[in-house]
Chain A
Amino acid sequence: MHLGESMRECEYSQISTRSSTPMETPYKKRTPKRKKWEAFPGRNKFYCDGRIMMAKQTGVFYLTLVLILVTCGLFFTFDCPFLAQELTPIIPVLGGALFLFVLGTLLRTSFSDPGVLPRATPDEAADLERQIDVANGTTGYRPPPRTKEVVINGQTVKLKYCFTCKIFRPPRASHCSLCDNCVERFDHHCPWVGNCVGRRNYRFFYMFILSLSFLTIFIFAFVITHIILSSYRKGFLTALKESPASVLEVVVCFFSVWSIVGLSGFHTYLISSNQTTNEDIKGSWSSKRGKDNYNPYSSGNIFTNCCMALCGPLPPSLIDRRGFIEADAPQMAPPTNGITMYGATHSQQSHMAAATPLLQQQSSEPVIITSSPENGTSLPARASLTLGGPCTSLPLGQPTPPTSTPSLSCHEAADMLPIHGHTLNHTHPLQEQAAVHHYLTPEEVPSPPGMLHCGSPLGHSHTVQASFYNPASQDSLHEDSVRGLVKLSSV
């Protein structure tokens, strides 16, 4: 019964499968077994045999890495000798420790599983479909957006159905359109880190930005000190000429410090009120929505909230990346209206580029897709579109996300539409020049269009952050698109 892997990311290899795969035969086939990460349906990249998991677009992550390494390298090479001599050798030591911590948390954030929810097995999906049919009393006709209401600590929360993953999303979970996964306690997709930030890596992300703020301020302060001390002896210009690297460092640090310190402040606020970026942007728990609107997850105490977020238990990864794909799982008797409904909607998918046919549903495996190993884009039967161009903005300098592959985010409204030009939203690349940090909140189409309150971020008090995303234009576009879709559906 072995659990241990060197990195304790996901450990659920074969231990408990004994209970679920009763068809163990004494003689196993000799065909080489594939690991589950190779057949992962989301748009993620895996390295080191499944130990490392990142988003598909990692260019900006390398930029982040380069910036940090170069700046710190220059600092240690050109400024530290002087400072160690003139002031104290503790400075390079402290700097070194900070640098290592920043790097460690960055890598941990980027490489770990943010809390991806595995997609429903065909049996589960069929069962859910059946229940929904029973609830609606109709078969064949697809009803309006599926939501389930749940009362959490006195507050009514709507659970939405994700058409891509075929599950009702747990509260606070969201579907990331870039990675094409539902992520638990989804905060945002961070291109700078090259991954989503969710339940499992939020604390690493926070530690990263916090320590990076300290590092930036540290470097900035000591480089300035270095220049000042040198210029006492040699004059300002000579000092600058002698250490041009310092100038570069000052420039980099000066521009980074505002955004990073601002971001740290923002996330400190979020942690203390136990909200996610997603919820804050949408104003889900803002008192402006209603007198009785409050955050049901918050414990009311700032200190407790902080402890919960940072020191709470770290849940294990739910996707077993390094386990082997079981080819022999037992299948249920051919399902009934569940699957035929999928078949019916399958015909709607005509414009889907890489639509893997529903046959995969019939295949014998919870973890299905074996066809496209490249990016695992198995597109289950949803003619779902990317709504919400607003927040699928991409980082500066990055090509827009693969518009050729119609990205599958789960949208209830999409359910209603036959075939609609998916380019509706995806083609406004929101290149925000000022925005250093793009919060790529997923496109959640709230079921009643009237509920679009995305404009509220303008009202929120995080002045530093307000400049980073331009919600007004995004939300009006978003609203238009949703209205358009709703109209289509009513036709």
Chain B
Amino acid sequence: MLCCFTVFIFCPTQFHNLQELRHSASLANKVFIQRDYSEGTTCRFQTKFPSELESRIELTLFEETVKTLNNFYAEAEKIGGQSYLEGCLACATAYLIFLCMETRYEKVLKKIAKYIQEQNEKIYAPRGLLITDPIERGMRVIEISIYEDRGSSGSSSGSSSVSGSTAR
């Protein structure tokens, strides 16, 4: 199942799927995308492209991921007819209704989990990256782990030290 690793000049390694990532890579660095509070306390993440990822992934892909996540969170926290209805119904039933029903927020969070899983599989893992669902980090950050191939020699470890030092 081990695939062949293609070492590019800039992009160190290429992984074919998450499994290979796990078995043959080592964690080199983690990048944290912080929250963007400029619009208040609603959940939004900064779309600024971190320098550590410059050599790893295209700007457009990254931005699209973050923007989609932001949209999901906006949808979850949206205050409108449906949320009012849910709130009033819950109050009327003394909040017992949540024993049988999922809140809208939870439904959206499930969608987000699926989306992140899909993004990881299709886009990030092949580039040696892994996104952690923000809910696991208390919705503070989007954690992107950067993996380096354990197996290959000099060049990739050289590039990892380069990327490591730029992160400092």
Using CB atoms and an 8 Å cutoff, list the residues of chain A in contact with chain B.
3, 6-8, 11-12, 15-20, 22-24, 100-101, 104-105, 108, 117-118, 120-121, 123-124, 127-128, 130, 150-153, 157, 159, 167, 170-172, 184-185, 203-204, 207, 296-297, 307-308, 310-316, 318-320, 330-333, 336, 366
Q: Is A16 in contact with B136, judged by CB distance below 8 angstroms?
A: yes
Which of B5-13, B58-66, B72-80 makes up part of the contact surface?
B72-80
A-contacting residues, B39-83, CB 8 Å: 39-41, 76-79, 83
Q: Is B79 in contact with A3, judged by CB distance below 8 angstroms?
A: no
Q: Is B18 in contact with A307, judged by CB distance below 8 angstroms?
A: no
Instruction: Given A130-B168, A207-B91, A310-B87, decide whether A171 and B41 contact each other with a Cβ distance below 8 A.
Output: yes
Contact of A19 among B29, B38, B40, B131 (CB under 8 A): B131
Q: Is B27 in contact with A332, judged by CB distance below 8 angstroms?
A: yes
Q: Is B130 in contact with A20, judged by CB distance below 8 angstroms?
A: yes
Number of interface residues of B (CB under 8 A): 58
CA of A170 to CA of B38, assembled, Å: 11
Contacts of B102 in A (CB 8 A): 3, 8
Q: Is B116 in contact with A16, judged by CB distance below 8 angstroms?
A: yes
Contacts of A121 in B (CB 8 A): 137
CA of A311 to CA of B145, assembled, Å: 37
Residue on B nearest A127 in the bound complex, by CB = B32
Q: Is A296 in contact with B40, judged by CB distance below 8 angstroms?
A: yes
CA of A144 to CA of B56, assembled, Å: 36
Q: Is A312 in contact with B38, judged by CB distance below 8 angstroms?
A: no
Contact of B79 among A150, A296, A297, A312 (CB under 8 A): A312
Q: Is B95 in contact with A104, judged by CB distance below 8 angstroms?
A: yes
Contacts of A297 in B (CB 8 A): 40-41
Q: Is A12 in contact with B136, judged by CB distance below 8 angstroms?
A: yes
Q: Is A315 in contact with B105, judged by CB distance below 8 angstroms?
A: yes
Contacts of A123 in B (CB 8 A): 30, 32, 143
Nearest chain A CB to B53's CB is how many angstroms away? Answer: 14
Contacts of A152 in B (CB 8 A): 37-40
Nearest chain A CB to B155's CB is how many angstroms away? Answer: 18
Residue on A nearest B25 in the bound complex, by CB = A22
Nearest chain A CB to B153's CB is how many angstroms away? Answer: 18
Q: Is A316 in contact with B105, judged by CB distance below 8 angstroms?
A: yes
Contact of B149 with A by CB under 8 A: no
Contact of B28 with A by CB under 8 A: yes
CA of A64 to CA of B40, assembled, Å: 36
Contact of B110 with A by CB under 8 A: yes
Nearest chain A CB to B140's CB is how many angstroms away? Answer: 6
Instruction: Given A19-B117, A22-B21, A330-B27, decide whether A8 and B98 contact each other with a Cβ distance below 8 A.
Output: yes
A-contacting residues, B114-153, CB 8 Å: 116-117, 120, 130-133, 135-141, 143, 145
Contact of B159 with A by CB under 8 A: no
CA of A315 to CA of B117, assembled, Å: 22
Nearest chain B CB to A354's CB is how many angstroms away? Answer: 24
Instruction: Given A124-B32, A171-B37, A316-B105, decide whether A101 and B94 contact each other with a Cβ distance below 8 A.
Output: yes
A-contacting residues, B85-110, CB 8 Å: 86-88, 90-91, 94-96, 98-99, 102-106, 109-110
CA of A157 to CA of B96, assembled, Å: 37
Q: Is A172 in contact with B41, judged by CB distance below 8 angstroms?
A: yes
Q: Is B84 in contact with A153, judged by CB distance below 8 angstroms?
A: no
Contact of B38 among A105, A151, A167, A207 (CB under 8 A): A151
CA of A203 to CA of B103, assembled, Å: 15
Nearest chain A CB to B113's CB is how many angstroms away? Answer: 4
Known: A3-B106, A16-B113, A313-B78. 13 other contacts (CB 8 A): A22-B18, A104-B94, A124-B137, A127-B31, A128-B32, A152-B39, A152-B40, A170-B35, A307-B87, A311-B91, A312-B83, A313-B103, A313-B105
Contacts of A127 in B (CB 8 A): 30-32
Contacts of A307 in B (CB 8 A): 79, 84, 87
Contacts of A108 in B (CB 8 A): 95
13 residue pairs A–B, Cβ–Cβ below 8 Å: A12-B135, A15-B113, A20-B136, A24-B22, A118-B137, A152-B37, A153-B39, A157-B37, A307-B79, A313-B78, A315-B77, A330-B27, A332-B30
Q: Is A170 in contact with B27, judged by CB distance below 8 angstroms?
A: no
Instruction: Given A19-B133, A127-B30, A333-B27, decide whether A314 and B40 contact each other with a Cβ distance below 8 A.
Output: no
